[in-house]
Structure 1
Amino acid sequence: MATDVDGTGASSAGLASLAVDRTDGIAEVTLLGPGKGNAMGPDFWRELPRVFDELDADPDIRAIVLTGSGANFSYGLDLPAMLADWAEVLGGTASASARTGFLRELRRLQASIDSVARCRTPVIAAISGWCVGGGVDLISAVDVRLASADAKFSVREVKVAMVADLGSLQRLGPIIGEGHLRELALTGKDIDAARAERIGLVNDVYPDHDGVYAAARAMAVDIAANPPLVVHGVKEMLAVNHQQRIEEGLRYVGAWNAAFLPSADLTEAVTAFMERREPRFTGD
């Protein structure tokens, strides 16, 4: 029987942004939004570490499949839902205390993604449709990424006058190589599933959502059949090679954005987003 992270037997009790089901030693975590395209709003950032910390502590869970509901994995950060909490800093006139508060909030969001990377249980992402911004931050923290043919990826923060600060810049280099990472992060361009497979962002591409889900589930079954302590050990050994560099990079980008994120270009990006038009950046 599938159960939720509270063990009640009723799937995903108490969660608004994620659905969690456990069956035969495998947990399935599904992004729900509630923003359009499973956008990541306040509920998501609060619930993600809760879910992954509890799954990590569950000895019966041997593998995790992470996917999105509907046609898309995630549109990334839910800007309209998050902007209210950041208004003082993003307005460009923030006090030192407001910037310190923003840095504290940013580190909380970073820690949410880190909960996925720290999870001792292997995580496989099954990606369909759009995977943008925060969605890429999230999949960069999993162990294996699989995609359907309609998947599209974008490290798009540069398009909204932001330095990506939740892990893509720190984690994707070893996965896809520095050259590909620099191209994606500096252009903000979209790439399709075929390109993502060529550069190593995803391991394999499947015809549709059902195909990639089935493949992720099958891989989870294979992993779950292996001795769990050895699987944990493999993840620990792989993490030790680059974890310190990731942590240092996250601290640095957090301090950078707390100091420099407010700008005329950021205001223009947010205004253009809300007005559904192309931004006009000036470098201010």
Structure 2
Amino acid sequence: MTDMTDLTNLEDLVSLKVDRTGTVAEVTLIGPGKGNAMGPDFWRELPLVFAALDADPQVNAIVLTGSGASFSYGLDLPAMMGMWAPLLAGDALAGPRTALLKEVRTLQESVNAVAGCRKPVVAAIAGWCIGGGVDVTSAADIRLASADAKFSVRETKVAIVADLGSLQRLSGIIGEGHLRELALTGRDIDAARAEKIGLVNDVYPDQDSLLAAARALAAEIAANPPLVVQGVKDVLEVNTQRRIAEGLRYVSTWNAAFLPSKDLGEAMQAFLERRQPEFKGE
């Protein structure tokens, strides 16, 4: 692969790596958090990278994948909680809650940059894809997985209503019943179940064969007339854009009002202490 020279106008990337082969760009999550956990650098860089790829006439399709054994462990809680702590105080008034609303919507826009990119995105998912990982891959056009992939809309287990797109986008991908089961239980599902419910199109034996298939699929898409491909994506999205946008706006407002809670504090403390939380509905 050759380095993506069209990204030279961006500052050095910390959480993402971008390469290009022909007209296919490959975006790889590289951490720096364990399991490609999504910290401040990721949320800052994701929209910059996808805006650059969207504008690059030499890119017709994109592969999105993770380095190492997993796509992503999801939100990097230790890295993010430092700046969020004042916004999540149980007695926070209008000022902190307005700041929390702004923060949620900023993260939503990062994920929206993937969905809004005019170039089709093929997500290649190996290992764990948790929380924010599901948010980001649900914003892709097509998802493929390796046999060891595991998925979890896990926010409910840490006293959070998922607010970055999974609840809005997955109903159109896997259907309302499967979405409710995953979101209300927070349970993990394997690649076979993900394929059965339509979360991924195909499952491959290992990460190497997964990446080969994702690259081949992206190259097949990229070989078609680029403006027509972009037109197909635009037409397909016309019936879902308003519903998704309204859902994101509603959940950001809901979380700004109700996210701060004793249960959330208990979830964070239990995470740090590596124990099961004890929720009391407070």
Give your verdict on TM over 0.5. yes
Contact 1:6 1:13 in 2 (8 A): no
Tell me the SS of whatever aligns to 2:170: helix
Tell me the SS of whatever aligns to 2:2: coil
Matches for 1:1-284 after TM superposition, within 5 Å: 2-4=2-4, 6-8=6-8, 14-284=12-282
- Counterpart of 1:261, as a letter, is L
Shift of 1:88: 1.2
CA distance in 2, matches of 1:5, 1:145: 27
- Counterpart of 1:244, as a letter, is R
- Counterpart of 1:131, as a letter, is C
CA distance in 2, matches of 1:249, 1:264: 25
Gaps of 5+ in 1: none
Tell me the SS of whatever aligns to 2:129: strand
Contact 2:7 2:52 in 1 (8 A): no
CA distance in 1, matches of 2:83, 2:5: 28
- Counterpart of 2:210, as a letter, is V
Deviations 1:130-150, CA, capped at 9 Å, x for gaps: 000000000000000000000
Identical positions, percent: 71
Contact 1:136 1:155 in 2 (8 A): yes
Tell me the SS of whatever aligns to 2:248: helix
Contact 2:7 2:49 in 1 (8 A): no
Tell me the SS of whatever aligns to 1:59: coil
Contact 1:5 1:55 in 2 (8 A): no
CA distance in 2, matches of 1:8, 1:250: 32
The 4+ residue runs of structure 1 with deviation greater than 6 A are: none
Shift of 1:4: 2.7
Contact 2:71 2:129 in 1 (8 A): yes
Contact 1:5 1:20 in 2 (8 A): no
CA distance in 2, matches of 1:250, 1:241: 16
Shift of 1:7: 4.4
Shift of 1:151: 0.1
CA distance in 2, matches of 1:7, 1:165: 29
Compute the TM-score of the two structures, normalised by the length of structure 1. 0.97
- Counterpart of 2:184, as a letter, is L
Contact 1:67 1:126 in 2 (8 A): yes
Deviations 1:165-209, CA, capped at 9 Å, x for gaps: 000000000100000000000000000000000000000000000
- Counterpart of 1:2, as a letter, is T
Shift of 1:23: 1.7
Contact 1:5 1:54 in 2 (8 A): no
Shift of 1:128: 0.2
- Counterpart of 2:84, as a letter, is W
CA distance in 1, matches of 2:5, 2:196: 36
